[in-house]
Structure 1
């Protein structure tokens, strides 16, 4: 059932069109009233700025406060505090509840005492800190890989690595829902890019078979766990395809590490695929591992090249020692306490089942850590998020143009720290908001 179908909760197509027309006219009037600026210095004409202003005006016209950039007054885990009030929180990637764990913060504090706050320069220029190598060795071991390299930014990891290893003569084949960082890396590389329908390995193979011989190298890029829909690919099929067509396979594990597999090792454990079936493992440290940055795990020859040539590593400051220490300790705790992974998966499965039972559209979610609730219009999603916030539940709406208008949604990130009661109260609050019944505060 779509929340957009309920009277008063969404706008009809005609009403939305009329609203946008009024806003467009208002925006144009405001632009005419603004002081003239020479074209080359007129920042008001920057790409996307007018659309952003229209979204802001739409929110104001509908009486909706922006749900973005709210300041959290402490650790944003399964629970948080915003504006002095408590909230159940489903907008954090703190999947295993490790961010804020005393062992993790203790490791970070010890690293600050030893190395200071910053690495102060690139690792190539200023040298290593032991914790960098320890973290990389532990991540390589997770994937049974020869080596690993950590980068200061997760987004920059995909951009700089794909941009470095692929060139104008090459082919990049990627899922149409691939993260922006991988798409930007592909664009930077100059390679030919082909997007295939989401998780459709048959379509991917048809494209690869038809185009492989025209190019030098070929790279297939997929994610192990997609953050928008909460689903996972058939990894074995993609690995087989890569071998058959002499292509490299790269898997983005940003939302898979700590979430997929019996012990959280990621998509290969979840799918029962040997880790060496994937050529390039990419991941981020900002989710399960409580830090910030990205990493690449794979063959030694690849890591050697990236250490000396990838612009996002060579020309960027090294990861802060405290963040490396926090991520290393998080990985150790994840490995020592697999019950956290099992509790996360149980919570996500419960949320998925209860939401579906209540009549909500949860798309293709596998119920492993991420569950979308698809409401069918941006207005419906924004209004539902606002109603839930009033009821003490913090969840972010995903609106057009990030997703197609018909796929506007709320996106719930579950944690091992959520309780069964909190999940049941949250779904009950969603149903009450949809049905127009009074909402009791969830916390």
Structure 2
């Protein structure tokens, strides 16, 4: 007869159960195999294409034309790898980066305020020069106020991302800068693009797709950074009033370039700038500094100052950057000959290029003149050969521009001489013929862009 325990189990059965439990504890059940994740950076979209382009360039003996280091201040002439070259790759349109007053202002600001304000302006970074610069910029556009940011790209992203939401719609030129597209994506707004400078199509889209509710924003550039042309601002103002939309104009490349006194597209076209709702621009081009700004009515600026994350949560503009921009504005006002010389040089280069049979796309003779090459390989090859001949100019290739529209983008400045401009055109024409012949001799097919998908909108204008 089996002995029972106080728990009702016979002693023998209890011992067997305990033995089984001890055995189980010594031999745990095998765990399922862990999930394997491929988190290598090589899996990022486009990385394989990047490697293929590098390999192709290496096979042809071509160096990477980007990220070349300049040995000093880059103006109409610069030094790369110890060699002096004519420079057509600078946004320093008025040559103010080397202006003694601009440099002195930056140095004096460092002496008084240091190199940084060390905090967001909301917290502890406010300094007198911030409001001084904003007041001056508001005066340029005859607006009630302005707000400066530490980055032009961030100014666009945070402004559009803050002002609009999913119930709103953004209508923009197809060749608009990357920062506009990224801002629209951040906002979550519906986005519609229209063909470059085709305002008939914009009107059609507004008539059919401007929603009855929600806000609408039309965004264009005052001077297009890849093509060197301008929009019809008067008609844009009429359209925005007819369809109840805000109009935003990105003046990054227009300030200092367009207009008799360099005050941008409104002055250039004889339009009251107060008719535009939002003016945006950068400090890094004609103003020889770094940063961005928004100018407009007081409620807009007040709202951005309190709500835009790119301003509220970002450090304030540094003392030397603000001081340099203020001094550059002074120089624009007191030295109008710089603006006149820039405009004369721009027209001279465009006429010379056209006379040499070079294709200049949509360029209108306003500081930015693309020499259209077509395929990326030829553009990169030409840039390298031109550097060997003491001319520094950068190739612009997809996805920064549409496929089959690779180009050499020439930035003309007030510092260039007529002789430099003529020499550059002559050499470019020679090298275009030479590179066309080399590619034909190698038997390389440069028409493969036909089979590629259209360029993603968010990549357009990626190099400002």
Per-residue CA distance 1:130-172 (angstroms, 9 max, x = gap): 1111110000000000000000111000000000001111110
1:271 Cα deviation from its structure 2 partner = 1.2
Per-residue CA distance 1:298-322 (angstroms, 9 max, x = gap): 0000100111110000001111011
SS of residue matched to 1:213: coil
Per-residue CA distance 1:160-200 (angstroms, 9 max, x = gap): 00000011111100001010001100111011100000011
**Selected match of 2:185 from 181, 184, 187:** 187
What TM-score comes out, normalization by structure 2 length? 0.85
**Selected match of 1:292 from 282, 290, 293:** 290
Q: Distance in 2 between matches of 1:212 and 1:432?
A: 50
SS of residue matched to 2:110: helix
Preserved CA contact (<8 Å) 2:125 2:316? no
Preserved CA contact (<8 Å) 2:251 2:282? yes
Pair 1:112–1:56, CA change in 2 (3 A): same
2:243 alignment counterpart: 245
Pair 1:274–1:116, CA change in 2 (3 A): same
2:259 alignment counterpart: 261
Preserved CA contact (<8 Å) 1:289 1:331? yes
Preserved CA contact (<8 Å) 1:171 1:215? no
**Selected match of 2:133 from 132, 135, 141:** 135
Preserved CA contact (<8 Å) 2:118 2:125? no
Q: Distance in 2 between matches of 1:281 and 1:404?
A: 27
Per-residue CA distance 1:350-392 (angstroms, 9 max, x = gap): 1111111111100010111000000111111111111110000
1:204 alignment counterpart: 202
Q: Distance in 1 between matches of 2:234 and 2:48?
A: 44
Q: Distance in 1 between matches of 2:36 and 2:77?
A: 49
Gaps of 5+ in 1: 1-36, 438-443
Q: Distance in 2 between matches of 1:405 and 1:177?
A: 13
Give structure 1 regions of 4+ aligned residues with deviation exceeding 3 angstroms.
37-40
1:110 alignment counterpart: 108
Question: Where does 1:73-112 land on structure 2 (aligned, <5 Å)?
Answer: 73-112=71-110
2:67 alignment counterpart: 69
1:9 alignment counterpart: none
Gaps of 5+ in 2: 1-34, 436-464
What TM-score comes out, normalization by structure 1 length? 0.89
Q: Which moved more, 1:303-312 or 1:403-412?
A: 403-412
1:387 aligns with 2:374: no
Task: Tell me the matched-pair count.
Answer: 401
1:276 alignment counterpart: 274
Preserved CA contact (<8 Å) 2:119 2:314? yes
1:435 alignment counterpart: 433
1:217 alignment counterpart: 215
Per-residue CA distance 1:76-123 (angstroms, 9 max, x = gap): 111100111101000000000000211001000000001000110100
SS of residue matched to 2:167: coil
Q: Distance in 1 between matches of 2:150 and 2:211?
A: 36
Q: Distance in 1 between matches of 2:92 and 2:257?
A: 10
1:409 alignment counterpart: 407
SS of residue matched to 1:436: helix
Per-residue CA distance 1:376-410 (angstroms, 9 max, x = gap): 11111111111110000000001122223321100
Q: Distance in 2 between matches of 1:86 and 1:366?
A: 29
**Selected match of 1:165 from 160, 163, 166:** 163
Q: Distance in 2 between matches of 1:127 and 1:312?
A: 14
**Selected match of 1:324 from 322, 325, 330:** 322
1:38 Cα deviation from its structure 2 partner = 5.1
More relative contact order, 1 or 2 (CA 8 Å, 6+ apart): 1
Q: Distance in 2 between matches of 1:374 and 1:435?
A: 13
Q: Distance in 2 between matches of 1:197 and 1:424?
A: 33
1:340 aligns with 2:360: no
In angstroms, what is the RMSD of aligned CA positions? 1.2
Q: Distance in 2 between matches of 1:73 and 1:206?
A: 51
